[in-house]
Structures are given as C-alpha cells and as structure tokens.
Amino acid sequence: MKLYTYWRSTAAYRVRIALNLKGIEAEMVPVDLVKDGGQQHSPDYLALNPAHLVPTLVLDDGTALTQSLAIIDYLEALWPAPALLPADPVARAQVLAAAHLVAMDIHPVNNLRVVQHLGETYDATPEDKAAWMRHWMARGFDALQAMVRPDTPFAFGEAPGLADICLVAQMYNAHRWGLDLAPYARLCEIETRCAALPAFAEAAPEKQPDAAQA
C-alpha cells in the first residue's frame, strides 16, 4: 500500500498514526501542498483523488481510497486489532462524535485552501488567518473537552482510539498557530500521553521525510 501524504496535513497525520498503531506497513509518498502551486492539483494526483486533498491510500491492486476517516474505517475492517473504536454502539458513536467534531467542525474550516481563499477574497493577512484558525480551534476544543471522559488515560479509555488520533493531529495545528491551551488541560494531558507512544511520535509531522525538504 502507498499513502500519499504531506508532513503538515493533519488529515494525513491521522492516517499515519492509525497505520502505526495497527503495525501496518505502507510506503509514504509525499505530495507537496505548497511547492509549484500544490502537487495535489497535478493530473496524476487528481486521477487518484479528485478532491485535490491528501491523504490518499492506494491499495496493492491500485484502488485509491480517500478521506482520512474513511481510510481509517477501511484499516479498522482489515486490521481490527488494536481496535480504534469500541464495539458497543453507544460508546462507538460517542468516540466517533468526538473524532468528527475535530474532523468536521474544526479542521475543514481551517484547511489550507480555506485560509488561502480568505486571503484571496478578503485580503486576510497572515495574522488574520491565524486568528481565524484559533477562533475555530477554541470553539471546537471547548466542546471536545466537554465530550471526552474526564478520568481515563486516553480520551475514552485505557488505550488510544480514533478520538485521540484526531485530537493529537489537531493539537499540532493548535501549537503551530498559537492557540492558548491554558483552558484545555485535559486535552493537553491526553496529547502528552499519546506523544509518549512510538505510534504517535513516529507519525509526527517533523519526523516525516518530506519535512526535511520543506
């Protein structure tokens, strides 16, 4: 399998963590979202992913899967251990809701192309763009902190799962764009515990081969 990835894409970062947690080997193929106007717009890449976004997972038979959480759903089906979602339907829906809060309500509004469009349409400065991103991260983290369990090692239990994956990847952007994390002690505690695990640490943006070339 090949994962088309970009070091700073938090959506790709989620899939890298999931692969590592499950011990799945995949070749990393960097897609530079910035260089040359963005390699995600190249015809070759669009044949794999018509949405102009990373990540894409290409299976050995050539099938291309897109959307980070759909890719992780596929990995969960083929490599069920360790499980990233609980078996109980209510518990599963609660973990999914926390993951979706990050993946739907925070991340897309702050995506590179959205802040680029903000610059093109409203002359948003770099500081305006960072303020935009912090606004949505703060709103989302307020809710997320109320959704995770208050007293477990990870967001919802004894082992990291899909909510932890989405949280840790989003935390990279929170640090990058200077979100005040003081109100989010519980989320920071989960992040610290995850970061100590090799599956998370090795998936981190700065550990990716394409980080060195940037």
Distance (Å, whole) CA 58 – CA 117 = 29
**Binding region for its own copies (CB under 8 A) out of 13-21, 98-106, 168-176, 183-191:** 98-106
Distance (Å, whole) CA 72 – CA 83 = 11
Q: Does 21 bind its own copies (CB under 8 A)?
A: no
Q: Does 103 bind its own copies (CB under 8 A)?
A: yes
Q: Does 92 bind its own copies (CB under 8 A)?
A: yes
Short-list 64, 84, 82, CA closest to 73? 84
* Amino acid letter, residue 119: G
Q: Does 12 bind its own copies (CB under 8 A)?
A: no
Q: Does 53 bind its own copies (CB under 8 A)?
A: yes
Q: How far is the CB of 70 from its own copies (least distance, A)?
A: 4
Q: Which helix (H) or strand (E) holds 58?
A: strand 56-58
On whether the CB atoms of residues 26 and 57 are closer than 8 A, the answer is yes
| 33 three-state secondary structure | coil
**Rounded to the nearest 10 degrees, how much is the dihedral formed by the CA atoms of 194, 198, 204, 210?**
-170
* Interface with its own copies in residues 107-126 (CB under 8 A): 107-109, 111, 114, 117-118, 121-122, 124
Give the one residue of 26, 83, 130, 143 binding its own copies; rule: CB under 8 A. 143
Which residues of the shown chain bind its own copies in the complex (CB under 8 A)? 50-53, 59, 63, 65-67, 69-71, 73-74, 77-78, 89-90, 92-94, 96-97, 100-101, 103-105, 107-109, 111, 114, 117-118, 121-122, 124, 128, 132, 135, 139-140, 142-143, 146-147
